Structure 1
Amino acid sequence: MSDRDSRHKASMEKLKTRVDEKVANATEQRGLLLVNTGNGKGKTTAAWGTVTRSLGYGYKVGVVQFIKGLWECGERNRLEEDPNLSVAIMATGFTWDTQNRATDTAACLEVWREAEKMLADPDTYLVVLDEITYMLKFGYLDIATVKQALINRPHEQTVIITGRNAHRELVTMADTVTEMQEVRHAFNNGLQARRGIDF
């Protein structure tokens, strides 16, 4: 065996030991709170990937779409026929298009009531609160209300929160926080969002 192969084998043995220790120490079973945030693209797409995974195992899933709900959504189009998927959509679409705080707040609170039902349902394995971070940032929803619903949710239920500038209290609560970092974005260089790729 060459020196390089020997070093590689020794390195992989150490890595396996570390991974095995982490696996052995991971003994708690419960639903998780995941936050996908940051300025990079892919936060909602990652959440829909997890929706697909859960549906693949036959679990009941709820998705609440704030802001982008009236936009075309390839993932939603593909999965909406699944009887285990429930989707609630905020009726106003992009808040920067409506420019009406009262209307947007009312629409947010209406769809939040659907979210609360999902978050209280012990049969719902996964709930996605897509772009809810904006609802908190703009003051349409109160952080205490959202936190209470998350704290009181069923023990086995996982929640994914997506959106830029996630509230620091949600970040503190979360089991896993992933920050999508933008290095370059095609849109900033004049390229339109592409059907089947961006939505």
Structure 2
Amino acid sequence: MQIEKPPVDRQAEKPDGERRGLILIHTGDGKGKSTAAFGLALRAHGRGKVVKIYQFMKVPSARFGEHRVFEQLGVPIEGLGDGFSWKSRDLEHSAQLARDGWARCAETISAGTHFLVVLDEIMYPIRYGWLDLQTVIQVLRDRPSHVSVVLTGRGAPQELVELADTVTEMTLVKHHYNAGVPAQRGIED
């Protein structure tokens, strides 16, 4: 490792544009997409902003770690699905849950009462063809100017990447699962 000196001067000029709602995407094959979105939700809530989290692949009765803490904090988090596709007993039912869930998401985004709306794991129903990509894009384009939206999931379509203000691609470097260590509660739930 090469030791470097910390910067003492500002490296870039401060932007002078107007503050507005943003579209942020966390995608890629690495871990941390949902965790990063939840971190933004916590940051916004900590500043007194109104936040809503939707999870497309979690069931409404899910009680993972994030559900427990957001419930304690008073941040609404709602499961819209019936689990990942390999757990589904009826993929058409899963698709309908995604469409019904998207209608709630679109209504929340369009209403403009939330500072931040998280659409966790939305890339899956988009990639499976359960949600129409152009409809999602139109809702994002037409949202009130102060509403920020975070979208997560692997394989973000290029059209969404082009629309977004910030896109982060999580890259897998190493994962404990590949070394035979199972998922751990509190780390991956």
Normalised to the residue count of structure 1, the TM-score between the two structures is: 0.86
Query: Aligned partners of 1:188, 1:94: CA distance in 2, in Å?
Result: 20
Match of 2:21 in 1: 31
**Aligned-partner SS, 1:96:** helix
Match of 1:178 in 2: 168
Amino acid across the alignment from 2:8: M
Q: What is the CA-CA distance between 1:71 and the residue it aligns to?
A: 4.9
Query: Aligned partners of 2:5, 2:87: CA distance in 1, in Å?
Result: 55
Q: What is the CA-CA distance between 1:173 and the residue it aligns to?
A: 0.4
Match of 1:145 in 2: 135
Q: What is the CA-CA distance between 1:99 and the residue it aligns to?
A: 5.2
Asked if the contact 1:66–1:129 (Cα under 8 Å) also holds between the matched residues in 2, the reply is: yes
Aligned length: 185
Q: What is the CA-CA distance between 1:198 and the residue it aligns to?
A: 1.3
Q: Which runs of 5+ in 2 are unaligned?
A: none
Match of 2:8 in 1: 12
Query: Aligned partners of 2:85, 2:169: CA distance in 1, in Å?
Result: 23
1:129 equivalenced with 2:125 (yes/no): no
Indicate the structure with greater helix content. 1
Match of 1:196 in 2: 186
Query: Aligned partners of 2:160, 2:43: CA distance in 1, in Å?
Result: 24
Amino acid across the alignment from 1:67: M
* Residue from 82, 85, 93 that aligns with 1:95: 85
Query: Aligned partners of 2:183, 2:62: CA distance in 1, in Å?
Result: 12
Asked if the contact 1:66–1:89 (Cα under 8 Å) also holds between the matched residues in 2, the reply is: yes
**Aligned-partner SS, 2:42:** helix
Cα deviation code 1:75-115 (max 9, x no counterpart): 221111434x2222123111111153211111111211211
Asked if the contact 2:58–2:81 (Cα under 8 Å) also holds between the matched residues in 1, the reply is: no
Asked if the contact 1:71–1:93 (Cα under 8 Å) also holds between the matched residues in 2, the reply is: no
**Aligned-partner SS, 2:73:** coil
Query: Aligned partners of 1:96, 1:135: CA distance in 2, in Å?
Result: 13
Normalised to the residue count of structure 2, the TM-score between the two structures is: 0.90
* Residue from 150, 154, 157 that aligns with 2:144: 154
